[in-house]
């Protein structure tokens, strides 16, 4: 029998210092990106976090049913309209009462970018000391796959269906991560499930940065059911999203953007879209629009990450000192 090559255990396991507080049998679809992310967070950050969640795909797991619970974390079931404001109330009282805490405001893209964007923006503007994690599955999945503000151009959902006249979403997606980074909040970052070590590091950085104020994590979390993908492809979809610059990985400390993964030879976006039925109706012309979007956002990101060093705009020489 050939000597089995003793591979080295992945370093990611070193970050998983805490137990998985969730019951093993919970209601997420097979291959759900959200399930992996939800279990991953407390395994990295610890089981003393206070996590808030809204009616969503995570609700049947995050929120208790009568007196029974699916996990051992302290949680707060919020409304989509109030998520970040609820988290604000928690951290403000804990600060007043001197209670040490890590509050994780855990929401989908619908809450973060659409119905709850107001209080997300307010919490960022007030620099509230908690971690807001958006799991972006690009649509309202719990209600059965409707379009959201982060649904990409072209994608079909049940509210942007394929019809003879209209064919999928004809609007661009909002880039939530970039929007939040613009506020010079202590920490912003994007992350996804193919790069778990990167995700773990960013979670720990957020936990440290929250002492100085608001932290926002934009995590790309595919939904096989909603995207018409094979459940086995969830991680590969994340990998290709990064490799095509569809979902670049970066972080921003006090608004200064730094790529955490530079893709030397980015592939064209169709190597990403081919894994999901929601894109399969798209014409050449549609794909060009999507590719242009991806490149526009990536160049914007590139520009922002070198802005100060190579800024051509006139700046008052007198107070050239550190702006922060």
| Length, in residues, of the chain | 324
**254 close to 324: Cβ distance less than 8 angstroms:** yes
Return the residue matching tokens 């507080």: 21
Q: Which is nearer to other proteins, 115 or 294 (CB)?
A: 115
Return the residue matching tokens 């990985």: 249
Helices and strands counted in the chain (H then E)? 12, 8
Q: Which is nearer to other proteins, 64 or 303 (CB)?
A: 64
Q: Which is nearer to other proteins, 148 or 291 (CB)?
A: 148
User: What's the min distance (Å) between Cβ of 112 and other proteins?
Assistant: 14
Q: Which is nearer to other proteins, 138 or 297 (CB)?
A: 138
User: What's the min distance (Å) between Cβ of 64 and other proteins?
Assistant: 3
Q: Which is nearer to other proteins, 76 or 298 (CB)?
A: 76
Angle among Cα 57, 74, 51 to the nearest 5 degrees reads 45
- Residues 6 or more apart in contact with residue 88 via CB below 8 angstroms: 119, 122, 123, 126, 128, 130
Concatenating the DSSP letter of every residue in 49-112 gives: -EEEE-SSTTHHHHS-BTTB-SBSSEEEE--TTTHHHHHHHHHHHHHHHT----EEEEEEHIII
What's the token pair of residue 201?
């590091």
User: What's the min distance (Å) between Cβ of 85 and other proteins?
Assistant: 3
User: What's the min distance (Å) between Cβ of 320 and other proteins?
Assistant: 32
Q: Which is nearer to other proteins, 24 or 265 (CB)?
A: 24
User: What's the min distance (Å) between Cβ of 19 and other proteins?
Assistant: 10
Q: Which is nearer to other proteins, 48 or 292 (CB)?
A: 48
- Residues 6 or more apart in contact with residue 97 via CB below 8 angstroms: none
User: What's the min distance (Å) between Cβ of 237 and other proteins?
Assistant: 11
Concatenating the DSSP letter of every residue in 94-163 gives: HHHHT----EEEEEEHIIIIIITHHHHHHHHHTT-SSEEEEEE-SSBTTTTSB--TTSPTT---SSS-B-
User: What's the min distance (Å) between Cβ of 312 and other proteins?
Assistant: 34
User: What's the min distance (Å) between Cβ of 299 and other proteins?
Assistant: 31
User: What's the min distance (Å) between Cβ of 59 and other proteins?
Assistant: 8
Helix (H/G/I), strand (E/B), else coil: 195: coil
Three-state secondary structure string covering 213-235: CCEEEEEECCCHHHHCCCHHHHH
Q: Which is nearer to other proteins, 70 or 220 (CB)?
A: 70
Q: Which is nearer to other proteins, 20 or 114 (CB)?
A: 20
- Residues 6 or more apart in contact with residue 203 via CB below 8 angstroms: 41, 44, 45, 131, 191, 217
């Amino acid at each position: 029998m050939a000597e089995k090559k003793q591979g080295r255990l992945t370093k990611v396991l070193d970050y998983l210092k805490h137990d998985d507080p969730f019951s093993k049998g919970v209601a997420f679809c097979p291959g759900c990106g959200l399930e992996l992310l939800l279990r991953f967070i407390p395994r990295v950050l610890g089981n003393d976090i206070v996590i808030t969640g809204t009616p969503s795909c995570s609700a049947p797991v995050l929120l208790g049913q009568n007196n029974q619970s699916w996990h051992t974390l302290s949680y707060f079931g919020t409304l989509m309209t109030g998520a970040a404001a609820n988290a604000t109330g928690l951290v403000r009282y804990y600060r007043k009462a001197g209670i040490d805490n890590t509050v994780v405001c855990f929401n989908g893209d619908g809450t973060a970018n659409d119905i709850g964007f107001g209080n997300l923006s307010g919490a960022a503007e007030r620099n509230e000391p908690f971690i807001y994690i958006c799991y972006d599955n690009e649509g309202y999945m719990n209600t059965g796959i409707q379009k959201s503000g982060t649904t990409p151009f072209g994608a079909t959902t049940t509210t942007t269906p394929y019809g003879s006249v209209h064919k999928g979403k004809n609007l661009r997606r909002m880039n939530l991560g970039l929007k939040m980074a613009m506020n010079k909040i202590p920490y912003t970052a994007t992350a996804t499930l193919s790069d778990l070590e990167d995700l773990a590091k960013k979670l720990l950085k957020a936990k440290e940065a929250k002492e100085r104020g608001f932290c926002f994590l934009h995590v790309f979390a595919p939904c096989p059911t909603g995207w018409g993908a094979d459940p086995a492809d969830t991680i590969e979809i994340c990998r290709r999203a990064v490799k095509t610059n569809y979902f670049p990985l970066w972080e921003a400390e006090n608004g200064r953007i730094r790529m955490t993964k530079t893709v030397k030879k980015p592939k064209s976006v169709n190597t990403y879209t081919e894994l999901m039925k929601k894109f399969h109706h798209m014409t050449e012309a549609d794909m060009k629009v999507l590719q242009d979007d991806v490149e526009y956002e990536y160049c914007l990101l590139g520009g922002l990450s070198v802005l100060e060093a190579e800024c051509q705009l006139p700046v008052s020489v007198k107070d050239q000192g550190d702006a922060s």
